[in-house]
Every structure is written in structure tokens, then in C-alpha cells.
């Protein structure tokens, strides 16, 4: 039995290494991704996930080693996954080509290494 490919709408992220993630997120987010409010929700989620990752990391490696509640919650590795997922969701709804953006940022870091600011 051969699988029939379902045509996908044109989207700048579908030709990047993030292709499969975006297809899965289409199923998860459904039609809500088309609302203006969804972008705002994702920005707030991004801030929340950064805070959770920092809390988990500091509980394990930093200043808050006695924060047992944070240690019992998700680890900073798991929180990083949540953070990345939120970034992917935001990029998808705003049609930002993350592959292009990551490559651009890598070039910026390389340039700073070669010519640091004084």
C-alpha cells in the first residue's frame, strides 16, 4: 500500500529542517493559529517558559539549590524543549523562516568573534 501525499499550502518554513515540526503543530494548534490573539498568547508563553527554564536551571546548578519544588518540577532540559516549541509555534504563525534566521545569527556571532566591539 503506497501513501498518497497530501498537498500542503505554501509556507516558507516547509522547505526548512523544521518542516516536520510545523506539520505536527498544524494539527496541534488547529484554526486558533489564525487568530490575532494567538501571537500574543505565544509571546506570553515564551516569557513564561524562559522563566521556568531559569528556575529549573538555578535549582539544579545555581543559587537556589534548596528550592525543592523547582527540582521536583520539570528539568531545565525539558523546559528548553517547551521554549523551543513556543518559538517554533510563533515562527510558524508569523511565517518566519527559522532556518534563515538561525543561519543569519550564526554569521553575526562569527563576525563578532572576528571583530569584537571595543
Domain that holds residue 44: 13-114
CATH label of the domain that carries residue 109: 1.10.287
pLDDT at 28 > cutoff 50: yes
Residue 33 domain-assigned (yes or no) = yes
34 domain-assigned: yes
Residue 110 scores a pLDDT above 80: yes
Is 104's pLDDT higher than 90?
A: yes
Q: What pLDDT digit, counting tens, does each position of 76-92 carry? A: 788 888 899 999 999 98
Rounded distance between C-alpha atoms, residue 39 and residue 92, angstroms: 10
Domain count, the chain: 1
Supply the pLDDT for residue 43: 92
Amino acid at each position: 500500500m503506497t501513501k498518497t501525499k497530501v498537498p500542503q499550502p505554501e509556507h516558507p518554513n516547509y522547505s526548512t529542517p523544521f518542516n516536520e515540526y510545523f506539520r505536527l503543530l498544524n494539527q496541534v494548534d488547529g484554526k486558533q493559529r489564525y487568530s490575532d490573539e494567538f501571537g500574543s498568547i505565544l509571546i506570553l508563553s515564551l516569557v513564561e517558559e524562559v522563566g521556568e527554564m531559569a528556575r529549573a536551571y538555578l535549582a539544579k546548578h545555581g543559587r537556589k539549590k534548596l528550592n525543592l519544588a523547582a527540582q521536583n518540577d520539570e528539568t531545565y532540559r525539558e523546559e528548553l524543549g517547551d521554549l523551543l516549541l513556543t518559538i517554533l509555534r510563533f515562527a510558524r504563525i508569523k511565517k518566519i523562516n527559522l532556518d534563515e534566521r538561525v543561519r543569519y545569527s550564526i554569521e553575526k556571532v562569527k563576525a563578532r568573534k572576528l571583530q569584537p566591539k571595543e
